[in-house]
């Protein structure tokens, strides 16, 4: 067995993982990132729109500061976030944007002079100041008081990821691509690294590390339709869940993005609406201004997605062979803007839909997009339950997003949290000594070898992994979607429990030799169904509506009983349901729970008596 030692093992080589590795490397530690794909193909690269940071350089961002960014983030989270973490994030975001500029990110810059912009389909004037010429500029995104989203055309994630990966190459951070972590090596107290499968040969390898970091991004692929890349399958989460001691936070908090295209579910950026695009219904009429007079198309994503679904339910959707949808209209922005600042959108529409967005409407509907939940960590990024284990980025529930994250806040989180958590990891490593017990390592390797052999030889059964996966995805789509009910969720949980039984009986049809893709899917399926159960069961138990979690039978946000974060454990292998525990959403209140200023404002406050419950 090939065994590789490193100070820091990062599972995932997207922006969060690589950014954290850079901090460790700069402090003199060795770092290796494992990745399913070459680092630059990580899903961070697909984030088009930008990163929120309160630089306040552009005219419409004047007067912005981290306080305003913090306040927008807390409101966006529907008071579900950890306010200490949100504060840490907002304060550090501007510095991180400048750090990235220093490393080579070609941020779009302020161009002085008079200019026009669109909002709600109407044209307005603005004037950029000469004194701000050449500073990092920003665009408008949903749920924000100011124009705050720093961007590189509509390839922000791509450009920042290339830059950060360049810095990794420069500092000697190794990326072992085509390598998949299949289990953590741990003794219930401390994490010692991971067992990984080489996706060039199919062989297992051992990685030993003083600090391990889960930075594998989101897990949208447990839904049938998602904007997420095919690699966003929850691999890192599964490794953490299978320890039995590391909880997932708020798995029920799932974001649906308003503008996934129909069909194929590819995302078109919020920048379309930020730059003045509008949403139209079957009559080609706007509707968001009726539901949300103030923020209109630029209310937060949970609110816009909800109204879109509501509008479709009212019979105002456009019929298509792929189900009802609505239209996104960016035609009025003009050819120069669309082929320039929205070039990726233009290419996606022309290549995948055969639609020319300069002249035609884009078919869109709300689509699973982001996992607010994930590996629960403290503000330093240290995972609950295991020493030496950290998590960062979308994979983590660090928890600045609560029950809804704002557009532009996740891409910013990757690098801001990556920097903060990376520094904490470096501090942790200073003087840290770990004793590696070979019996713990060998036992985990043997467990994985036996598991693989069992699946190849159909020891437990011959269930088809792809069919089991479809059953899981369909259950979530039906029961744990934008609108949720007791009945729907109960059925979803029961159906997932039956699916879990099937997942435990998966066997291969092919020979399993080498980099067998069927084996890769089979190794993950049971863990994925456990995640789906954490999501659905958490949603069933949360009898309120908060952010993206909407209960049609409990429509109010209930701050009296549910100002909490769900912690989901899978304590024993034989369990058929997760164990749920709860902790306060935040230990510090800079902003007490209140009205968001958009969306509904039905709130059960902490002072409401239990018998008033309606």
Restricting to residues 303-322, which ones interact with other proteins according to CB under 8 A? 321
Question: By CB neighbour count within 10 A (0-12 exposed, 13-18 middle, 19+ buried), where does 295 fall?
Answer: buried
Is there binding between residue 63 and other proteins (CB under 8 A)? no
Selected from 11, 97, 304, 500, the binder of other proteins by CB under 8 A is 97
Residues 6+ apart with CB under 8 A from 498: none
Give residue 176's Cα distance to chain centre. Answer: 23
CA distance 186 to 123: 59
408 touches 30 (CB < 8 A): no
Find where tokens 């390898």 sit.
205
419 touches 380 (CB < 8 A): no
256 touches 305 (CB < 8 A): yes
Residue 87 is a catalytic residue: no
Residues in the chain: 614
Selected from 5, 27, 41, 436, the binder of other proteins by CB under 8 A is 41
Is there binding between residue 114 and other proteins (CB under 8 A)? no
The site map against other proteins for 401-440 (x = CB under 8 A) is: ----------------------------------------
Instruction: Choose among 19, 22, 11: nearest CA to 173.
Output: 22
CA distance 497 to 425: 38
Selected from 46, 195, 333, 386, the binder of other proteins by CB under 8 A is 46
Restricted to residues 118-147, the positions that interact with other proteins (CB under 8 A) are 133-137
Minimum Å distance from CB 105 to other proteins?
Answer: 9
Restricted to residues 20-39, the positions that interact with other proteins (CB under 8 A) are 37-39
Residue 310 is a catalytic residue: no
3-state secondary structure string across 116-130: EEEECCEEEEEEECH
Restricted to residues 492-551, the positions that interact with other proteins (CB under 8 A) are 508-511, 513-518
Restricted to residues 220-259, the positions that interact with other proteins (CB under 8 A) are 229-231
Minimum Å distance from CB 48 to other proteins?
Answer: 8
Is there binding between residue 166 and other proteins (CB under 8 A)? yes
CA distance 597 to 577: 37
Restricted to residues 567-606, the positions that interact with other proteins (CB under 8 A) are none
- Nearer Cβ to other proteins, position 39 or 182? 39
Is there binding between residue 167 and other proteins (CB under 8 A)? yes
CA distance 560 to 557: 9
Please count the other Cβ atoms lying within 10 Å of the Cβ belonging to residue 460. Answer: 13
Choice among 40, 176, 237, 273 that is catalytic: 273
CA distance 586 to 567: 14
- Nearer Cβ to other proteins, position 111 or 606? 111
Selected from 233, 297, 344, 399, the binder of other proteins by CB under 8 A is 344
Minimum Å distance from CB 403 to other proteins?
Answer: 27
Restricted to residues 345-374, the positions that interact with other proteins (CB under 8 A) are 347-348, 351-354
Question: By CB neighbour count within 10 A (0-12 exposed, 13-18 middle, 19+ buried), where does 360 fall?
Answer: middle
Selected from 2, 3, 189, 201, the binder of other proteins by CB under 8 A is 201
454: enclosing H helix or E strand: helix 438-456
- Nearer Cβ to other proteins, position 293 or 354? 354
Per rule CB under 8 A, count of chain residues that contact other proteins: 73
- Nearer Cβ to other proteins, position 165 or 444? 165
Selected from 4, 65, 101, 145, the binder of other proteins by CB under 8 A is 101
Choice among 176, 257, 365, 549 that is catalytic: 257
241: its two tokens: 């869940």
Minimum Å distance from CB 275 to other proteins?
Answer: 16
Q: Tell me the catalytic residues.
A: 257, 273
């Amino acid at each position: 067995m090939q065994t590789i030692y490193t100070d820091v093992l990062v599972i995932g080589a997207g922006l969060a993982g690589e950014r954290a590795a850079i901090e460790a490397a700069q402090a003199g530690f060795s770092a290796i990132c494992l990745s399913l794909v070459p680092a630059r193909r990580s899903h961070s690269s697909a984030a088009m729109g930008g990163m929120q940071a309160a630089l306040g350089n552009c005219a419409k961002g004047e007067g912005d500061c981290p306080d305003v960014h913090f306040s927008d983030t807390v409101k966006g989270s529907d008071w579900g976030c950890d306010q200490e973490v949100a504060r840490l994030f907002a304060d550090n975001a501007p510095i991180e944007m400048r750090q990235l500029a220093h490393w080579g990110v070609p941020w779009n810059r302020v161009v002085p002079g008079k200019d026009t912009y669109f909002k709600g389909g109407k044209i307005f004037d603005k004037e950029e100041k000469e004194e701000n010429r050449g500073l990092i500029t920003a665009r408008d995104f949903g749920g924000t008081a100011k124009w705050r989203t720093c961007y590189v055309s509509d390839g922000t994630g791509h450009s920042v990821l290339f830059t950060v990966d360049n810095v990794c190459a420069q500092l000697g951070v190794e990326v072992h691509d085509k390598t998949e972590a299949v289990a953590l090596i741990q003794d219930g107290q401390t994490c010692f690294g991971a067992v990984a499968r080489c996706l060039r040969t199919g062989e297992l390898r051992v990685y030993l590390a003083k600090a391990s970091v889960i930075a594998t991004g989101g897990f949208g692929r447990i839904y049938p339709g998602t904007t997420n890349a095919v690699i966003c399958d929850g691999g890192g989460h599964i490794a953490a869940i299978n320890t039995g001691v590391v909880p997932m936070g708020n798995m029920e908090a799932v974001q649906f993005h308003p503008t996934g295209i129909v069909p194929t579910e590819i995302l078109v950026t919020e920048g379309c609406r930020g730059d003045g695009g509008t949403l139209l219904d079957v009559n080609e009429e706007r509707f968001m201004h009726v539901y949300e007079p103030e923020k209109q198309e630029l209310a937060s994503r949970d609110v816009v997605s909800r109204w879109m679904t509501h509008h479709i339910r009212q019979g105002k959707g456009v019929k298509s062979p792929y189900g009802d949808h609505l239209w996104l209209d960016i035609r009025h922005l003009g050819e120069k803007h669309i082929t320039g600042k929205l070039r990726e959108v233009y290419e996606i529409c022309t290549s995948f839909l055969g639609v020319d967005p300069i002249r035609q409407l884009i078919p869109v509907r709300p689509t699973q997009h982001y996992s607010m939940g994930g590996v629960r960590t403290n503000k330093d990024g240290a995972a609950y339950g295991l020493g030496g284990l950290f998590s960062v980025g979308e994979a983590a529930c660090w928890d600045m997003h609560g029950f809804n994250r704002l557009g532009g806040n996740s891409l910013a989180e990757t690098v801001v949290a990556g920097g903060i958590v990376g520094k904490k990891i470096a501090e942790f490593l200073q003087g840290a000594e770990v004793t590696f017990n070979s019996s713990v390592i060998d036992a985990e390797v043997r467990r994985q070898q036996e598991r693989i052999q069992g699946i190849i030889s159909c020891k437990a059964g011959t269930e088809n992994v792809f069919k089991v996966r479809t059953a899981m995805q369909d259950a979530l789509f039906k029961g744990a979607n934008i609108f949720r009910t007791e009945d729907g969720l109960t059925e979803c949980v029961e159906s997932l429990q039956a699916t879990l039984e099937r997942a435990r009986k998966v066997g291969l049809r092919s020979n399993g030799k080498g980099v067998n893709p069927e084996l890769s899917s089979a190794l993950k399926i049971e863990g994925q169904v456990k995640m789906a159960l954490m999501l659905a069961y958490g949603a069933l138990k949360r009898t309120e509506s908060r952010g993206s979690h909407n209960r049609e039978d409990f429509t109010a946000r209930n701050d009296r009983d549910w100002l909490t974060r769900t912690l989901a454990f899978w304590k024993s292998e034989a369990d058929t349901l997760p164990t749920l525990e709860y902790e306060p959403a935040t230990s510090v209140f800079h902003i007490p729970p209140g009205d968001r200023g958009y969306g509904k404002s039905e709130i059960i406050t902490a002072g409401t008596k239990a018998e008033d419950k309606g």
